């Protein structure tokens, strides 16, 4: 295990401090750093779009109404000077919808309690829910449920984005289902209603455990006055149909009537303070941890622009692990995958990191063993991805690359400890699966601006299509059109290259955000702390009273 351990009379020190071979004065480092900084500038520009919400016109109108912006509400709700880990800020990127998804989600600390916050942004099309808003909100609820974090909705929304209702109406019911499942699982849910919460949106407060409404501002009804007039002929007004005062005094939907927005935020904090939430999970990680011995700033200069050039992930680990202390496991075996023990902000972690991109049988078996070891001792796993996938070729097929890759995927799928994934570089093919990509349910997954993900690289994919096309033409006895083939390859390569980009994938909520490599340790520290609210699952498959196989894995084929 990492670091020193006081074993009674003898203090045993383990020497596992990583040295660095990074030449920070060399041209290679400078070029990599420059490329990363350029991509970070692009990332800042996209984040700025999310921060700008609906733009100056709608922001000024909102302020003129005496209202706070979504991020201001969050800032006043969380503990002073505490961090807020924003999730999915690029939602909607490249889709034609505004970047940010008209909602802000993330993890913040409220009265010493880590919570998931979901705040609609009323400056973007009335805060209405478009398909990317929905995916972003469902991901935030999933994070709350899986990590057992209380959920606070800061509501002011025009409900479904009406022109795209077909994409959201039916799947959108999950928002309300998740709220009540959380409640049933003992995870408190709170709705602070600042403005409109109409139609389906009325079930946000309706399904929450605690509801606070702002006097003269919150409006919660199934149908507004025009709809009621149409449906029943009744003449009504906003206040009698769904005003905060009515809900606090008559319908009983509001548990607290707030005098204004600040009062609602204060009441929200006092609700959380009484959750009696501390003490869940395995407890605090212990005394303050030492930072890495090597500068986190140097994380900018490690990943090459050309991902075909390998890099040593130990250089990354040396800049994120406490004290740069990494106790490598099986260093001489399956050396394309680095495995070992470290700690981050005092949280113990097992790390799996790709070294030379390709995964062979040895790497797969080593990974499966390492994952089992982490499960045996209940230590979370961190996957640092830079993989081109499992090795192809007759030699490797004959040696059982499929069954060994399957073994690794089996171990990843059935592992019960929290998983965190960072896509640093390539994430291609089944390597994405074995290294705990999005479909393998890591508690959190972040990408660096250097990340790229697809079924295979653009040139390989276009080349495969070309070979298949050539064979098909030969089978038909036709001549192959070389000019058309060249045009097809260029078009396909461009398309796959664009679709492999991290902003594009983040826009589709295939990760929880693209982060500055320098923030990796901080982001992972917040995630590890959040993840410990939900202890690892019990071994053995559910539904087997005898617990089934001891570790709860699928059948391995050695």
From 201, 122, 132, select the one nearest 160 (Cα to Cα): 201
Q: Determine how many CB atoms are found less than 10 A away from the CB of residue 312.
A: 17
Stretch that binds ligand COA, among 194-202, 239-247, 347-355, 547-555 (CB under 6 A): 194-202
- Binder of ligand COA out of 17, 51, 138, 199 (CB under 6 A): 199
Residue 233's Cβ-count burial label (10 Å; 0-12, 13-18, 19+) is exposed
| b/e 379-397 (16+ beta carbons within 10 angstroms → b) | bbbbbbbbbbbbbeeeebe
3-state secondary structure at position 84: strand
- Binder of ligand COA out of 16, 197, 198, 369 (CB under 6 A): 198
Q: How far is the CB of 128 from ligand COA (least distance, A)?
A: 4
C-beta of 114 vs 121, nearer to ligand COA? 121
Q: 231: which 2 tokens?
A: 């449906």
Q: 60: which 2 tokens?
A: 């000024």
Residue-level length of the chain: 558
C-beta of 158 vs 243, nearer to ligand COA? 158
- Binder of ligand COA out of 196, 339, 388, 533 (CB under 6 A): 196
Phi, psi of 129 (to 5 degrees): -95, 110
Q: Give the DSSP H/E element, type plus range, for residue 424.
A: strand 419-428
Q: Which residue has the tokens 């909102």?
A: 62
Q: Which residue has the tokens 């904090």?
A: 269
Q: How far is the CB of 164 from ligand COA (least distance, A)?
A: 8
- β-pairing, 210-214 vs 10-13, is unpaired
Q: How far is the CB of 230 from ligand COA (least distance, A)?
A: 12
Stretch that binds ligand COA, among 74-82, 124-132, 240-248, 265-273 (CB under 6 A): 124-132
Nearest-angstrom CA–CA distance, 269 and 78: 8
User: Does residue 371 contact residue 377 with C-beta atoms inside 8 Å?
Assistant: no
Q: How far is the CB of 226 from ligand COA (least distance, A)?
A: 9
C-beta of 155 vs 211, nearer to ligand COA? 155
Q: Determine how many CB atoms are found less than 10 A away from the CB of residue 44.
A: 11
**Region class of 125: left (phi > 0), else alpha (psi between -120 and 50), else beta:** left
C-beta of 159 vs 434, nearer to ligand COA? 159
C-beta of 159 vs 457, nearer to ligand COA? 159
Q: Which residue has the tokens 């001489």?
A: 332
Q: How far is the CB of 196 from ligand COA (least distance, A)?
A: 4
User: Does residue 443 contact residue 146 with C-beta atoms inside 8 Å?
Assistant: yes
Nearest-angstrom CA–CA distance, 72 and 261: 11
From 85, 78, 81, 140, select the one nearest 109 (Cα to Cα): 78
Q: 504: which 2 tokens?
A: 């594009």
C-beta of 200 vs 457, nearer to ligand COA? 200
Q: How far is the CB of 168 from ligand COA (least distance, A)?
A: 9
Q: How far is the CB of 267 from ligand COA (least distance, A)?
A: 23
C-beta of 22 vs 155, nearer to ligand COA? 155
Binding to ligand COA by CB under 6 A, coded x per residue (else -) over 144-173, reads --------------xxxxx-----------
C-beta of 59 vs 460, nearer to ligand COA? 59
Q: How far is the CB of 492 from ligand COA (least distance, A)?
A: 36
C-beta of 57 vs 395, nearer to ligand COA? 57
Residues numbered 55-74 forming contacts with ligand COA, rule: CB under 6 A: none
From 55, 124, 108, select the one nearest 132 (Cα to Cα): 124
Q: 13: which 2 tokens?
A: 């020190």
Half-sphere exposure of 15 (CA within 13 A, CB side): 1
Residues numbered 366-395 forming contacts with ligand COA, rule: CB under 6 A: none
- Binder of ligand COA out of 32, 33, 39, 125 (CB under 6 A): 125
Q: How far is the CB of 431 from ligand COA (least distance, A)?
A: 41
Chain position whose Cβ is nearest to ligand COA = 159
Nearest-angstrom CA–CA distance, 470 and 465: 9
Q: How far is the CB of 158 from ligand COA (least distance, A)?
A: 3
C-beta of 225 vs 310, nearer to ligand COA? 225
Stretch that binds ligand COA, among 191-199, 346-354, 487-495, 512-520 (CB under 6 A): 191-199
C-beta of 124 vs 307, nearer to ligand COA? 124
Stretch that binds ligand COA, among 100-108, 120-128, 278-286, 382-390 (CB under 6 A): 120-128
C-beta of 162 vs 273, nearer to ligand COA? 162
Residue 243 binding ligand COA, by CB under 6 A: no
**Region class of 508: left (phi > 0), else alpha (psi between -120 and 50), else beta:** alpha
Q: How far is the CB of 208 from ligand COA (least distance, A)?
A: 18
C-beta of 92 vs 348, nearer to ligand COA? 92
- Binder of ligand COA out of 16, 20, 88, 128 (CB under 6 A): 128
- Binder of ligand COA out of 3, 98, 100, 126 (CB under 6 A): 126
User: Does residue 316 contact residue 299 with C-beta atoms inside 8 Å?
Assistant: yes
Q: Give the DSSP H/E element, type plus range, for residue 44.
A: helix 27-52
Residues that bind ligand COA (CB under 6 A): 125-126, 128, 158-162, 196, 198-200
């Amino acid at each position: 295990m990492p670091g020193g351990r006081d074993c009674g009379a003898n203090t045993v020190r383990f020497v596992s401090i990583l040295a660095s071979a990074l030449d920070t004065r060399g041209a290679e480092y400078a070029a990599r750093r420059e490329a990363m900084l350029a991509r970070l500038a692009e990332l800042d520009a996209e984040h700025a779009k999310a921060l700008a919400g609906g733009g100056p016109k709608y922001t000024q109108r909102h302020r003129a109404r005496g209202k706070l912006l979504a991020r201001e509400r969050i800032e006043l709700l969380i503990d002073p000077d505490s961090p807020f880990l924003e999730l999915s800020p690029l939602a909607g990127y490249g889709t034609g919808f505004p970047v940010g998804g008209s909602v802000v989600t993330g993890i913040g600390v409220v009265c010493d309690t880590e919570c998931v916050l979901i705040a609609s942004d009323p400056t973007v099309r009335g805060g209405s829910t478009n398909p990317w808003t929905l995916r972003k909100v469902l991901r935030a609820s999933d994070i709350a449920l899986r990590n057992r974090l209380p959920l606070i909705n800061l509501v002011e929304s025009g409900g479904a984005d009406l022109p795209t209702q077909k994409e959201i109406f039916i799947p959108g019911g999950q928002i309300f289902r998740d709220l009540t499942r959380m409640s049933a699982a003992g995870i408190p849910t709170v709705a602070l209603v600042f403005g409109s919460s109409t139609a389906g949106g009325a079930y946000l407060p309706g399904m929450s455990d605690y509801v606070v409404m702002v006097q003269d501002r919150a409006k919660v009804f199934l149908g507004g006055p025009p709809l009621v007039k149409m449906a029943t002929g009744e003449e009504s007004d906003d206040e009698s149909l769904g005003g905060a005062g009515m809900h606090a005094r008559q319908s009983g939907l509001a548990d607290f009537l707030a005098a204004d927005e600040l009062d609602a935020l204060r009441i929200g904090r006092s609700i959380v303070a009484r959750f009696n939430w501390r003490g869940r999970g395995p407890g605090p990680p212990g005394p303050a941890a030492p930072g890495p011995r090597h500068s986190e700033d140097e994380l900018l200069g490690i990943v090459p622009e050309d991902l075909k050039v390998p890099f040593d992930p130990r250089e990354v680990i040396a800049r994120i692990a406490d004290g740069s202390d990494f106790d490598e496991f099986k260093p001489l075996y399956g050396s394309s995958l680095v495995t070992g023990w470290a700690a981050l902000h005092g949280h113990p972690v097992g790390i799996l990191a790709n070294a030379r991109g390709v995964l062979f049988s040895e790497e797969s078996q080593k990974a499966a063993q390492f994952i089992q070891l982490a499960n045996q001792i209940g230590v979370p796993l961190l996957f640092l991805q830079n993989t081109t996938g499992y090795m192809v070729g007759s030699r490797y097929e004959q040696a059982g690359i499929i069954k060994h890759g399957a073994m690794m995927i089996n171990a990843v799928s059935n592992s019960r400890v929290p998983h965190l994934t960072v896509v640093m570089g390539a994430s291609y093919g089944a390597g994405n699966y074995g290294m705990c990509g999005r479909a393998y349910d890591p508690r959190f997954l972040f990408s660096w601006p250097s990340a790229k993900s697809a079924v295979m690289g653009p040139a390989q994919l276009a080349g495969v299509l070309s070979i298949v096309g050539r064979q098909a033409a030969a089978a038909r006895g036709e001549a192959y059109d070389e000019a058309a083939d060249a045009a097809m390859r260029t078009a396909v390569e461009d398309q796959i290259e664009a679709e492999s980009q991290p902003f594009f994938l983040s826009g589709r909520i295939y990760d929880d955000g693209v982060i500055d490599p320098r923030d990796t340790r901080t982001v992972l520290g917040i995630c590890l702390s959040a993840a410990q609210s939900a202890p690892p699952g019990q071994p053995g498959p559910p539904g087997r009273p005898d617990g089934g196989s001891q570790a709860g894995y699928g059948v391995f084929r050695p």
